[in-house]
């Protein structure tokens, strides 16, 4: 009886494992984080002509796309913002507002590392003091308390109320 049960168990495990191995893993790239990671974890590097054409398309559509992204952010449709902006991310446009909106789509979805990456790019391109809170909070959520505190302190110096609240909260 025990040999039969052992044989049955081993057969089941072998067949189950063979069935899983035969399946291809296909990540669901409709989710923002999966799109972000799939692109970041590969060596995708568009050739110069492709990038140039993509940037030309971006420049033509930029204003319309950013207006739509702002409306989606206001409606709290963070997935919509991500789906709208993400296809242009590989082009690495030098556009602070693009990265601010993309960062906020990640931030409000609770994806703090990609949000932090976007906020840093946006802040480097345009010193928007509002981003200091988002940078600080993203650093905090990713475990870097020292950098978070630096951002909050810089925000307090620049008059960002949310940073002042955060500093006051940490003191008490």
| Whole-number pLDDT of residue 31 | 45
CATH number where 102 lies: 1.25.40
Same domain, 123 and 63: yes
Task: Note whether residue 46 is domain-resident.
Answer: yes
| Whole-number pLDDT of residue 163 | 87
Overall number of domains in the chain? 2
pTM for the full predicted model: 0.71
Determine the longest span between alpha carbons in the chain, in angstroms: 77
Same domain, 119 and 35: yes
Euclidean distance between the first and the last CA atom of the chain, given in angstroms as a whole number: 67
Residue 141's domain comprises 129-172
| Whole-number pLDDT of residue 22 | 40
Same domain, 118 and 47: yes
Task: Note whether residue 12 is domain-resident.
Answer: no
Measured CA to CA, the distance from residue 28 to residue 20 in angstroms comes to 17
| Whole-number pLDDT of residue 116 | 96
Mind listing the pLDDT tens digit of every residue in the chain (172 residues)?
555 544 444 444 444 444 434 433 333 334 444 444 444 444 555 577 888 888 899 999 999 999 999 999 999 999 999 999 988 888 888 999 999 999 999 999 999 999 999 999 999 999 999 999 999 999 999 999 999 999 999 999 999 899 889 888 877 6
Contacts of 41 (CB under 8 A, 6+ apart): none
């Amino acid at each position: 009886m025990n040999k039969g049960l052992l044989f049955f168990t081993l057969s089941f495990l072998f067949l189950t494992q063979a069935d899983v191995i035969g399946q291809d893993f296909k990540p669901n790239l409709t989710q923002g984080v999966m799109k972000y990671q799939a692109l970041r974890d590969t060596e995708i590097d568009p050739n110069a002509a492709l990038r140039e054409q993509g940037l030309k398309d971006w420049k033509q559509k930029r204003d319309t796309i950013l207006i739509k992204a702002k409306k989606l952010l206001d409606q709290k449709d963070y997935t919509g913002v991500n789906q709208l902006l993400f296809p242009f991310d590989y082009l690495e446009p030098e556009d602070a507002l693009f990265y601010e909106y993309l960062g906020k789509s990640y931030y409000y979805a609770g994806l703090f590392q990609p949000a932090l990456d976007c906020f840093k790019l946006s802040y480097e391109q345009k010193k928007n003091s509002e981003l200091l809170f988002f940078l600080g909070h993203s650093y905090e959520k990713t475990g870097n308390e020292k950098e978070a505190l630096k951002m909050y302190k810089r925000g307090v110096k620049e008059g960002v109320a949310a940073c002042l609240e955060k500093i006051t909260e940490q003191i008490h």
